[in-house]
């Protein structure tokens, strides 16, 4: 899978709420009511990431979950990263955060 151009990345980021470019990755932090809800979100995301065979870096700090997507094998951002971000946003919306 080819990496996206800077223009493509900028266009795709405009369509995502709260995601930011961080070097060769995109990152977003979600805040949940508490630790159990944060872990529940990660547990809902895990099978989706496994199905897509594309896994974000996940950092859990109490009630905050930070996701970072980058296609390491390609050395940058690909369509898979933005698809993963969309899935994460959908799951967070379903959790009503």
Residue of 27, 28, 56, 24 lying closest to 42 (CA atoms): 56
Give the dihedral sign, CA 40/43/47/53: positive
- Angstrom distances, CA of residue 15 to CA of 4, 18, 69, 86: 15, 10, 16, 10
Write the burial class of residue 81 (CB in 10 Å: 0-12 exposed, 13-18 middle, 19+ buried). buried
Looking up tokens 């070097």, which residue turns up?
Answer: 23
Architecture of domain 6-94: 2-Layer Sandwich (3.30)
User: Global pTM?
Assistant: 0.95
Give per-residue pLDDT as tens, 16-67.
Answer: 999 999 999 999 999 999 999 999 999 999 999 999 999 999 999 999 999 9
Domain extents in the chain: 6-94
């Amino acid at each position: 899978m080819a990496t996206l151009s800077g223009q493509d990345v900028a266009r795709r980021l405009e369509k995502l709420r709260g995601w930011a470019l961080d070097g060769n990755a995109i990152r977003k932090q979600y805040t949940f009511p508490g630790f159990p809800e944060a872990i529940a979100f990660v547990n809902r995301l895990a099978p989706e990431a496994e199905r897509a065979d594309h896994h974000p870096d996940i950092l859990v700090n109490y009630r905050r979950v930070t996701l970072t997507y980058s296609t390491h094998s390609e050395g940058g951002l690909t369509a898979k990263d933005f698809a993963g971000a969309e899935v994460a946003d959908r799951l967070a919306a379903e959790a009503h955060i």
